[in-house]
Structure 1
Amino acid sequence: MAVRELSALEARVLAVLVEKASTVPDSYPMSLNSLTQGVNQKTARDPVMNASESDVASALDELKAMSLVNSVSGSRVARFEHNMKRVYGIPGQAEALLTVLMLRGPQTSAELRINCERIHRFADVSSVEGFLEELAGREPALAVKLPKAPGAREARWAHLLSGEPVVPASAMASSPATASSSERDEEIAALRAEVEQLKAAVARIQQDLGIAG
């Protein structure tokens, strides 16, 4: 699979084409105008973008060079369709998962099952996890399970079509926080020991001086 890492806009354009092919098939293949609207859509997008038609057109040119997008002839208005499954060699279930990850950012398996509903309906969360594990086990990997954030019940998944995801420090594994907590516990224990030693010293001084404690 000779496909380079996609830019954030290229990934969004590709994902919108896959999404709209399932959700609004009557408008697919898509025109540049409708595709730009889908890229800048305010709902079901993270992050929200504000790309111009020329930005989207440039992204389309790059995607066409990688065979991820095709131009469709025979219409007065240029229209575009995706070729994601064939280029990446993945089944429709995996395509749906990667699409929703590109549109909405990192999500848990349960969130992905819900958000994929209009593209592909998964029977249960375990089937979602099965396809995610398969994507993560490919060479090169197309998805990754992120470290569980402190206090989070489930780990989230991210796509790797645009390279390694940037994980905020607050979402990193809890081991550093655990280490800091352990250090604080040791400091508190040391302070308590010092207080007990001072109390004993004061008691001895009071005893020597005949002062009642």
Structure 2
Amino acid sequence: MLTEPVKLTQAEARVLGSLIEKEITTPDYYPLSLNALMNACNQRSNREPIMNLDEDDLRQALHGLEAKQLAGRARSADGRVMKYEHWLGEAFNFSRAETALICVLLLRGPQTPGELRGRTERLHEFTEISDVTNGLQKLMEREPPLVTLLARQPGARESRYAHLLSGPVESSIAADGESAAEEPQSTASSYQERIAQLESNVAELQREVAALREKVESLFG
């Protein structure tokens, strides 16, 4: 069982999350071949962000996960095709609830308890939101902690939780309840990009309306 902090790359986190998910949702096809794993990592549903990992990316991620004792070549595979599995149970001895929460956090990033409850349905049934928060609390109380509570975003009703398997997360809540960091610069930049895109869309619509008006006037003027 691992007792040292783990720091996964983005690709390693996606590979690990995909292996965990497919073991539970498609057990007949698990362990996964490299091609099946690539499809799982790059699928466009239930993934944030969407990624486009190739075979070299996968091999490098699997090598890193094997070095961390989290995943690697399937030990019981007996076919000609090389297959891969995760070893999360050996590394952390998670309950089914903890496994489901970590899996969805790896695949979709920071989420609220409500989002986690809805998105873990295929992996584990949480009867109440309190069951989700209890599971998250257990993961936060691990040594070292595996989940953290993030500072609430402006205008948001619920706080989000994030996994710590890729290292510390900015804007997490410190032990005294204060924000450990200001809102990341990337978030402010993202807002500016959205505003710029909206302004561009409005300008384009205005040009289209003007062009249509000219056509109407030329036809009926």
TM over 0.5: yes
Distance of 2:185 and 2:132 partners within structure 1:
26
In the TM superposition, what is the alpha-carbon distance from 1:171 to its structure 2 partner? 10
In the TM superposition, what is the alpha-carbon distance from 1:81 to its structure 2 partner? 1.1
Distance of 2:89 and 2:66 partners within structure 1:
14
In the TM superposition, what is the alpha-carbon distance from 1:118 to its structure 2 partner? 0.5
RMSD: 1.8
Which of 56, 59, 62 aligns to 1:57? It is: 59
Equivalent residue number for residue 123 of structure 1: 127
In the TM superposition, what is the alpha-carbon distance from 1:107 to its structure 2 partner? 0.6
Which of 18, 32, 43 aligns to 2:45? It is: 43
Alignment of 1:6-21 (within 5 A): 6-21=8-23
Which of 26, 29, 41 aligns to 1:27? It is: 29
* 1:140-159 deviation line (CA, Å, top 9, x unaligned): 11001111111111101100
Equivalent residue number for residue 202 of structure 1: none
Q: Percent identity?
A: 42
With over 3 angstroms needed to count, the CA separation of the structure-2 counterparts of 1:56 and 1:16, relative to structure 1, is same
Runs of 4+ in structure 1 off by over 6 angstroms are none
Please tell me whether the aligned partners of residues 149 and 171 of structure 1 are also in contact (alpha carbons under 8 angstroms). Answer: no
Distance of 1:169 and 1:68 partners within structure 2:
29
With over 3 angstroms needed to count, the CA separation of the structure-2 counterparts of 1:41 and 1:166, relative to structure 1, is farther
Report the TM-score, using the length of structure 2 for normalisation: 0.73
- Secondary structure class of the residue paired with 1:51: coil
Please tell me whether the aligned partners of residues 149 and 170 of structure 1 are also in contact (alpha carbons under 8 angstroms). Answer: no
The total of aligned residue pairs comes to 172
The residue identity in structure 1 corresponding to 2:162 is A
In the TM superposition, what is the alpha-carbon distance from 1:89 to its structure 2 partner? 2.9
Work out whether 1:78 is the aligned partner of 2:75. Answer: no
Please tell me whether the aligned partners of residues 5 and 144 of structure 2 are also in contact (alpha carbons under 8 angstroms). Answer: no
Larger Cα Rg: Structure 1 or Structure 2? Answer: 1
Unaligned runs of 5+ in 1: 173-213
The residue identity in structure 1 corresponding to 2:113 is S
Report the TM-score, using the length of structure 1 for normalisation: 0.76
With over 3 angstroms needed to count, the CA separation of the structure-2 counterparts of 1:44 and 1:89, relative to structure 1, is same
The residue identity in structure 2 corresponding to 1:145 is L
Unaligned runs of 5+ in 2: 172-182, 188-221
Distance of 2:131 and 2:186 partners within structure 1:
25
